[in-house]
């Protein structure tokens, strides 16, 4: 998938001329870009890696409040993500409401209890067990904020008809990653929670039918004494293959 090129109007060549193939094409402006010296490039890359290596998913959240602007900044950062045909097929529902968080937790736990007790095959539970996950979700009521990411499966066209969105799962996945990075950069923690099934979220949060909940992310400070599983990340050799003529 090349979501970035989808942001450009599609061009085609005919009789030596380049023509627009799309109606209402966006106009073009110069790319704002200035060269980063290679020493600075590496320095930034290394410090970004060091920062991201410190990111951990914890299940233990403090009830300490977080300013709304922090959440707005994370959502705005995430929403700079590339997306299929630049349709930006996401809706972020940000919740700081004890009442709604209790409702959300109760509904999520109800589904999760069935999942953990009845729906989860052994091949799944054996990989979850070391991570200590279970159907009890205190982080949904402890964290000051819960952000729910909805994927827009359709869009309303100018002619009033519904059309599809494209690569919406990939687009929202990229945006979620950027949200997680923004939260971590600001010194807070989040947890990617995927209640399954999560259809109840559409009704609870009053979202339209063409939107589908994808991720539930409590955001806040870690609790004092918060713990994380003692797990390690794969090395570069384990995750990457290079075809590099200069090596
Ligand atoms: N949705 C459940 C189960 C779960 C599944 C995976 I894959 C995880 O990495 C963690 C949990 C839950 O949120 O508990």
Q: Does residue 37 sit within a domain?
A: no
Give the count of domains, the chain: 1
Q: Does residue 122 sit within a domain?
A: yes
Of the candidate ranges 121-130, 166-175, 227-236, the one whose mean pLDDT is the lowest: 121-130
How many angstroms is it from 214 CA to the middle of ligand 1? 13
Q: Does residue 246 sit within a domain?
A: no
Q: Does residue 234 sit within a domain?
A: no
With a cut of 60, say whether residue 118 has pLDDT above it.
Answer: yes
Q: Are 78 and 176 in contact (CB under 8 A)?
A: yes
Number of other residues whose CB lies within 10 A of the CB of residue 163:
13
Q: Does residue 202 sit within a domain?
A: yes
pLDDT category of residue 16 using cuts at 50, 70 and 90: very low
Q: Give the pLDDT confidence score for residue 238 in this predicted structure.
A: 98
Give yes or no for residue 212 CB within 6 A of ligand 1.
Answer: no
Q: What is the CATH number of the domain that holds 189?
A: 3.40.109.10
Q: How far is CA 151 from CA 91, 209, 210, 211, 212, in A?
A: 7, 11, 8, 5, 5
| Burial (CB count within 10 angstroms: exposed 0-12, middle 13-18, buried 19+), residue 130 | exposed
pLDDT category of residue 203 using cuts at 50, 70 and 90: very high
What is the chain's mean pLDDT, rounded? 91
With a cut of 80, say whether residue 160 has pLDDT above it.
Answer: yes
Name the token pair of 99.
Answer: 């009442």
Q: Give the pLDDT confidence score for residue 18 in this predicted structure.
A: 43
Q: Does residue 75 sit within a domain?
A: yes
How many angstroms is it from 182 CA to the middle of ligand 1? 22
Name, in order, each residue with C-beta under 8 angstroms of 214's C-beta and a sequence gap of 6 or more.
149, 150, 151, 169, 172, 176, 198
With a cut of 70, say whether residue 215 has pLDDT above it.
Answer: yes
pLDDT category of residue 132 using cuts at 50, 70 and 90: confident
Q: Can you tell me the mean pLDDT for 96-118?
A: 96
Nearest-angstrom CA–CA distance, 7 and 87: 8
With a cut of 90, say whether residue 53 has pLDDT above it.
Answer: yes
Q: Which of 180, 10, 13, 206 is nearest to 81 (CA)?
A: 180
Range of the domain at 126: 57-227
Q: Does residue 215 sit within a domain?
A: yes
Q: Does residue 197 sit within a domain?
A: yes
Q: Give the pLDDT confidence score for residue 35 in this predicted structure.
A: 98
Of the candidate ranges 82-91, 118-127, 145-154, 219-228, the one whose mean pLDDT is the lowest: 118-127
Percentage of residues of the chain with pLDDT beyond 70: 90
Name the token pair of 68.
Answer: 């709304």
Using most ligand atoms within 8 A of CB, pick from 133, 138, 195, 216 the residue to mutate for ligand 1: 133
The pLDDT tens digits for 19-52 are 444 456 789 999 999 999 999 999 999 999 999 9
């Amino acid at each position: 998938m090349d979501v970035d090129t989808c942001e450009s109007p599609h061009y085609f060549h005919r009789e030596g001329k380049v023509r627009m193939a799309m109606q209402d094409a966006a106009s073009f402006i110069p790319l704002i870009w200035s060269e980063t010296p290679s020493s600075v490039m590496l320095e930034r890359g290394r410090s970004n890696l060091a920062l991201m290596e410190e990111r951990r998913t914890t299940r233990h959240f403090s009830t300490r409040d977080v300013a709304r602007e922090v959440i707005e900044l994370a959502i705005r950062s995430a929403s700079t993500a590339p997306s299929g045909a630049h349709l930006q097929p996401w809706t972020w529902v940000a919740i700081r409401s004890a009442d709604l968080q209790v409702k959300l937790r109760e509904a999520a736990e109800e589904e999760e209890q069935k999942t953990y007790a009845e729906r989860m095959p052994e091949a799944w539970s054996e990989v979850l067990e070391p991570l200590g996950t279970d159907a009890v979700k205190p982080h949904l009521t402890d964290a000051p904020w819960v952000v729910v990411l909805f994927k827009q499966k359709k869009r309303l066209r100018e002619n009033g008809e519904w059309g599809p969105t494209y690569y919406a799962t990939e687009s929202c996945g990229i945006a979620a990653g950027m949200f997680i990075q923004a939260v971590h950069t600001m010194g807070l923690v989040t947890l990617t929670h995927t209640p399954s099934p999560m259809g109840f979220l559409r009704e609870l949060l009053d979202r339209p039918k063409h939107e589908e909940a994808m991720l539930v992310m409590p955001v806040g400070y870690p609790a004092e004494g918060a713990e994380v599983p003692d797990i390690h990340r794969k090395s570069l050799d384990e995750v990457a293959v290079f075809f590099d003529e200069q090596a």
